[in-house]
Amino acid sequence: MSVVRKDVVLRDYSTFGIGGAARYFIELRTVQDVVEALAFCRKEGLPFLVLGKGSNTLFDDRGYPGVVLLNKLQEITWREASFTVGSGYSFSLLGAQTAK
């Protein structure tokens, strides 16, 4: 699993630039990271939220008492006439690549 960080200030992950600290913060880069992070949340009995790019996301200045899971799944697999894209992949980059 990715590193579990404590007390990460959320304002750095919001386009609004506001918000207190998350009790725990995990960057998800692989499907295995997702599985292990959810197991951690379940084991510790903590709520979680999944964060993408942070646009239109407001965090409370008092922070978040659970686990913030930052979606960084950026894998892309091309097959003949189709492709599979990780949910954290950039839409603008995907558009540019598929337009070629």
66: CATH = 3.30.43.10
pLDDT tens, position by position, 16-30: 999 999 999 999 999
**Residue 98: how many CB atoms within 10 A of its CB?**
11
Q: Is residue 61 part of a domain?
A: yes
CA distance 62 to 19: 7
pLDDT band for position 95 (cuts 50, 70, 90): confident
To the nearest whole number, what is the mean pLDDT of the chain?
Answer: 89
Structurally, the chain folds into a number of domains equal to: 1
Sign of CA dihedral 37, 39, 40, 44: positive
Record the pTM. 0.81
Q: How many Å apart are CA 85 and CA 62, to the nearest integer?
A: 35
Residue 99 in this model has a pLDDT that exceeds 80: no
Region 77-93: what's the mean pLDDT? 77
